[in-house]
Amino acid sequence: MILGTMDAIDRWIDLLPPPFLAGFEFLKSPNVATLSEGKHEIDGDNVFAIVAKDLGRGKPDSPLECHRDYADIQYVVSGVDVIGWHPLSQCKRPTEAFDEERDLGFFLDRPTTWITLPTRHFVVFFPEDAHAPLASTGPVHKVVVKVRCPR
């Protein structure tokens, strides 16, 4: 997991693999706040963004989720998101079989850490990071960049 602000991204962005670099360059775009909701292609199925405006569900209603094929760069355009984290290796109670087509699995396990992510902050979750997004209680405008990771 990586946590940071867009204001400081230029200090270390060149250290990231090219697919992550493409994702962060997309997030640095001056028009990112005005993008329509939905999917936006960056590099085909290798890197793409999902823009959403949601209402937080609160901690009790935010289950841990995981992905096997993609890392998430979760960026808050406006509002505040609270996101839970727990090592995937310690998640022992899946709610159902992993959905390969959607690259998505859920767990009954609970986060051990909660992260408050205000406007212009991001967090990167890798496939080994289970996370529980939208655990805040207010409106959140987010962009989630999905970056394909080799297994």
Q: What is the pLDDT of residue 138?
A: 95
Domains delineated in the chain: 2-148 (2.60.120.370)
**Tens of pLDDT along 12-36?**
888 888 999 999 999 999 999 999 9
pTM listed for this prediction: 0.95
Q: What is the largest CA-CA distance in the chain?
A: 42
Q: Which residues contact 10 (CB under 8 A, 6 or more apart)?
A: none
CB burial string 13-33: b at 16+ within 10 A, e below: eeebeebbebbbebbeeeebe
